[in-house]
Structure 1
């Protein structure tokens, strides 16, 4: 069904009755839930097309989708069960009014000790995210203009005093429209976020951006605002009061501060003005109060704050571009998840407006490409491990990064879920920062790598940076180092390795695992029934007239097409059918075909020569990639993962080479039985779809090393 993933998402967040409102940004669905505890992040992350789930304070819940979020949002809103649920700011579901929901949320109190901090970060993020598409589009226009200037097609279009041909000047307007009127866009989004009429916020900010407003300061000598040289304003007298006249184009701190004041004012006016006249007097009184307040005080303070932050960063960069080039890429991996990078983006814009260039985006590129390099490493491992879900996640995240410069799909879809990635990624960030810092010293660059335009650091925007050669080396170094480190060390901890390996192998076999934490999987292993081309230690056997080769030594060769392979028993005990296993996942063949062994011994042995793809540290499950191409799962007992390793002594680790009969783990059956668990051990062929058939050799008493399964290769 076309809407199946959409319905699964709704079910996983607690159903339509639990949804107060639903919006989306460039990469994520953003739910406001009635009860955040009803959302199941684990279930959400298992849904096809979902890159990650991010629970937040205040019963907010985010589902990371990536570039196709608009389509998923549309599918969700088209569901019949969503007919009563609001989309956009302030939408409600379940018949509750906006006031009812807010009252209920106030009564609950914040979820967590940092709810106010989460709200602040979300306010900053939501003020920018809806205009991300416009910013991306504008950044590509800027890059195109930079490329044309580099090739000598047009003069340096962003240098003072340069006049472009009208045709090229028109192209230049295609990006200027976004950044000149950026304060209006931010004012609209920020006002909506705080619960005010967004068009009222837009109108308030529009007053100080009118050409006529700016003209009030014409002919007046500019002075330093509050003694701050970076904030130059013209002071004019309005009704006997001094009003600072500033250029508000591209400014973002003034609209953010304006909205922060407008929100509480709007709520106050709604409380004291009768409902039947609110439509008229709430907007009027809000504008009457906020327009003068913004022009006289809030706007200039915003200019001052922005200039102050920009000046502080410029001072650090001027003191030591080397230190600055290292600090920025190392700080960004922690700033982006919190939304703190959006104010820095505002400073970049201010730098370009006041200095004519920006010095932050170059080092930021080192972070971005380290992030994308780590994702590339995960993608390569996912291909190697046949992990279909991670391949899809990493491919989408890498495309969004390299082509759009957007890091959120990588961060929320992969990196924050697998904590081993972050240290490796930070080494990539440090590498890129060191290259920029050292290169700046060698080349004598006063401000390091700079750009004269605000762009998203992607492959498409490389021409916007100067010097381009140093920038290329830096981002390539950050990308490659992060990628190689992730590839070498892996990105999963031992528990995640086993879980993801099962998901990968079962996906390849066309099956679904119920609980990946209770199984281990295989991606590159091999086994006991292979035909050795060098003739060493192979014996012939027959079964029903079919030729069988049993190898006693693994050489990595693959059996010939159509050959009948044997999988040896990993245990002493009694072979029984899978339907006797007290677990519906194994009994129903969900994990794949195979057989189970009721153990009489206490040791599990390798059923063939190959590689350990996943060895659970708890000892309850092992995945082997046999040399003949068979992927085997050995699950010691049912629900024994709950013992957390008690009674198990693991002998191997991931990546170890094993031969037929190599001990994998010893276990204490008394511990298992005392805990009330069954010691029955399923032996499963995970990639059964690669073969014509998988059949038991026989049922009954077996010893380890005896033939247990026949696997017929496809003709």
Structure 2
């Protein structure tokens, strides 16, 4: 891939000098910036390959890329201007970047220890998601071959496969059998310990020689033959299979991290390289084998059995609750423990029962994205079409929900209620059918449907989730009335605002008050002025940068000024046609006879009043003259609701002109020159 998108991303966030640190996860670039307050989000999202952008607290900023995130990350790090950040990758900065703005909405934002717990879980799994996804497709292929009768049930006890198929079956086992080693490495690194020491400690209990200890004379079989106890120097050692286990390496890494910090405090720095690893292994290997390992195995099994008891008691309730909970768990990172339990279920029970209901959530999520894609094509919204296409492909083919979630759904809150209905429909179908199981950890996508034991039931449930969410989004739309008004006004110029609007730095300086097309300005201005827009309302002029809404103040929607009204009627500033007249009365889009496209937005966030206090005088398609009343409003209603009365008056097609300038300051009357537009 060319490096231009990488360079454009860096430019759009303020340049390399504004970057403090950069990491990435499975779908997102995670920036820590010196100053994120002035970023033009529309400019970021207009960059090819960018699916969306998510501002966060503490000058952190996420750019959603999707499956190509690693390639884009590498291209960015290869930029000459980013050389100073080349050593940042893998230094442990990821933890700071992961603390998303969503944290404040849930328990993670209230308890630091809980936040740390979920961060450790996510950082332990995130780097190996690609390997897990790849292995899950091999498992799905084996399941499909068994379903079609090409091979016998590949995972049934006592089944022997032909050597050729046995080799294919080995392709996924390397990832899942040695998963504890991968988790141990990532978790140890996250907690400040030597990751290879953590890897080595966990490797001891996975050696064939360790398992052979349970077969020696005098070993006592326990837990129904799943483990054995043998005496080692007079102490009981529990020997069990640690393949695919995730809780033992997580607990081991926590203790190792604490031990490493302590040892570095008491051991002189000159000999730490030798004695910190040695003493860590000397202490942690026996501690893991005798205590941490068994505690993790059976503690995790207890959690899995608890969920299993709920599912056994009522598969219907379980199948409905899980997909309804996931849309709120994923943004907060609360889904990671369930992922760990899924893996443990497969290792201990031989199957998992959580992934089926989880699929209902995933496909409802993808269905909502498909609905957005349909609407973006119909509305000729190129940017949203690009975002939704990438997110839908990542979901249906990879089972990855983050591009949809962060790129679209959390930005357009109307989507969530429709998506939840899809989750409910899929969950109800699964529950009525008695639920489904899978013998492998898979990402719930189109490609992994054959991995479930009841394919017709699962396919029907996720299909219903997808179609329900998609249809509801198509029927109701995903934009609020305010978002529709802003988009329609910008699109009237032939493009959406993010493609057409120049950056704030391109805004011309205010001209002398009173300039007009009749020649009251300077000689240079007279020669270039194309039109002068009169004020649609009496009031006090507010410069663009001072409008109390970043969507307007940053020039994202258009260029112009604000007016803090002193009267209660808004008039057409000149002759033209009404393009948009919101029923709520808060926004109007006009095309003036001069070719200037206007957006007049009465107050800030006043769409939330749902028309209360507004009396609309015109409709879309009406012809208006200068001074035609557009709307009257009740100041008290707006003020009592806590909303600003400042009314942005914006030119939404500024690139068609040479400049758009403020033409007045202070008090203006209806029709007084407010904005001058010069020809190119």
| 1:251 is aligned to 2:219 | no
Note the C-alpha offset of 1:679: 8.2
Number of residue-to-residue matches in the alignment? 592
Find the partner of 2:378 among 376, 384, 395: 384
389-398 or 307-316, which moves further after superposition? 389-398
The aligned residue for residue 467 of structure 2 is 480
User: Which secondary structure does the structure 2 equivalent of 1:217 belong to?
Assistant: helix
Would the aligned equivalents of 1:235 and 1:243 in 2 still touch at CA under 8 Å? Answer: yes
Would the aligned equivalents of 2:558 and 2:653 in 1 still touch at CA under 8 Å? Answer: yes
For 1:9-45, what per-residue CA distance to the aligned partner results, in whole angstroms no more than 9, with x for missing partners?
66379713x33xx322211223466x7xx33496456
For 1:309-330, what per-residue CA distance to the aligned partner results, in whole angstroms no more than 9, with x for missing partners?
1101111111111111111111
The aligned residue for residue 536 of structure 1 is none
Output the CA distance in 1 between the equivalents of 2:651 and 2:173: 64
Report matched runs for 1:204-603 at 5 Å. 204-218=201-215, 220-224=219-223, 232-440=226-434, 448-501=435-488, 507-508=495-496, 510-512=499-501, 602-603=569-570
For 1:336-366, what per-residue CA distance to the aligned partner results, in whole angstroms no more than 9, with x for missing partners?
2222322222222222223222211111110
CA change 1:2–1:383 in 2 (3 A) is: closer
The aligned residue for residue 77 of structure 2 is 77
User: Which secondary structure does the structure 2 equivalent of 1:466 belong to?
Assistant: coil
Note the C-alpha offset of 1:459: 0.6
| 1:132 is aligned to 2:129 | yes
The aligned residue for residue 561 of structure 1 is none
Output the CA distance in 2 between the equivalents of 1:159 and 1:369: 29
Would the aligned equivalents of 1:12 and 1:41 in 2 still touch at CA under 8 Å? Answer: no
Note the C-alpha offset of 1:418: 2.3
Would the aligned equivalents of 1:51 and 1:64 in 2 still touch at CA under 8 Å? Answer: yes
Output the CA distance in 1 between the equivalents of 2:245 and 2:391: 30
The aligned residue for residue 101 of structure 1 is none
| 1:143 is aligned to 2:151 | no
Would the aligned equivalents of 2:597 and 2:652 in 1 still touch at CA under 8 Å? Answer: yes
| 1:55 is aligned to 2:42 | no
431-440 or 241-250, which moves further after superposition? 431-440
CA change 1:643–1:185 in 2 (3 A) is: closer
User: Which secondary structure does the structure 2 equivalent of 1:144 belong to?
Assistant: helix
204-213 or 150-159, which moves further after superposition? 150-159
Would the aligned equivalents of 2:558 and 2:650 in 1 still touch at CA under 8 Å? Answer: no
CA change 1:173–1:391 in 2 (3 A) is: same
TM-score by length of 1: 0.72
Note the C-alpha offset of 1:653: 12
Would the aligned equivalents of 2:222 and 2:228 in 1 still touch at CA under 8 Å? Answer: yes
Output the CA distance in 2 between the equivalents of 1:458 and 1:350: 21
642-651 or 378-387, which moves further after superposition? 642-651
Output the CA distance in 2 between the equivalents of 1:678 and 1:184: 59
Note the C-alpha offset of 1:188: 0.6
User: Which secondary structure does the structure 2 equivalent of 1:216 belong to?
Assistant: helix
The aligned residue for residue 612 of structure 1 is 580
CA change 1:680–1:431 in 2 (3 A) is: closer
Would the aligned equivalents of 2:544 and 2:559 in 1 still touch at CA under 8 Å? Answer: no
Output the CA distance in 2 between the equivalents of 1:634 and 1:12: 31
- CA RMSD in angstroms comes to 4.6
Output the CA distance in 2 between the equivalents of 1:668 and 1:688: 36
Report matched runs for 1:46-195 at 5 Å. 46-47=43-44, 48=47, 49=50, 51-53=52-54, 55=56, 62-85=62-85, 86-90=87-91, 113-195=110-192
Note the C-alpha offset of 1:649: 5.6
CA change 1:679–1:380 in 2 (3 A) is: closer
The aligned residue for residue 203 of structure 1 is 200
Output the CA distance in 2 between the equivalents of 1:56 and 1:218: 55
For 1:150-208, what per-residue CA distance to the aligned partner results, in whole angstroms no more than 9, with x for missing partners?
11111111111111100000000001111000010111111111111111110010000
Q: Mind listing any 5+ residue stretches in structure 2 that lack a counterpart?
A: 96-107, 505-532, 546-550, 658-669, 672-676
| 1:666 is aligned to 2:614 | no
Note the C-alpha offset of 1:146: 1.0
The aligned residue for residue 519 of structure 2 is none
The structure, 1 or 2, with the larger RCO (C-alpha pairs under 8 Å, 6+ apart) is 2
Q: Mind listing any 5+ residue stretches in structure 1 that lack a counterpart?
A: 99-110, 441-447, 516-568, 575-579, 690-701, 704-708, 710-715
Would the aligned equivalents of 1:571 and 1:603 in 2 still touch at CA under 8 Å? Answer: no
User: Which secondary structure does the structure 1 equivalent of 2:56 belong to?
Assistant: strand
For 1:187-235, what per-residue CA distance to the aligned partner results, in whole angstroms no more than 9, with x for missing partners?
11111111111111100100000011011112644323xxxx7x94211
Output the CA distance in 1 between the equivalents of 2:116 and 2:492: 41
Output the CA distance in 2 between the equivalents of 1:593 and 1:663: 23
The aligned residue for residue 588 of structure 2 is 622
Note the C-alpha offset of 1:422: 1.7
Output the CA distance in 1 between the equivalents of 2:232 and 2:245: 23
User: Which secondary structure does the structure 2 equivalent of 1:622 belong to?
Assistant: strand
CA change 1:115–1:153 in 2 (3 A) is: same
The aligned residue for residue 15 of structure 1 is 18
User: Which secondary structure does the structure 2 equivalent of 1:251 belong to?
Assistant: coil
Output the CA distance in 1 between the equivalents of 2:333 and 2:62: 14
Would the aligned equivalents of 1:12 and 1:43 in 2 still touch at CA under 8 Å? Answer: no
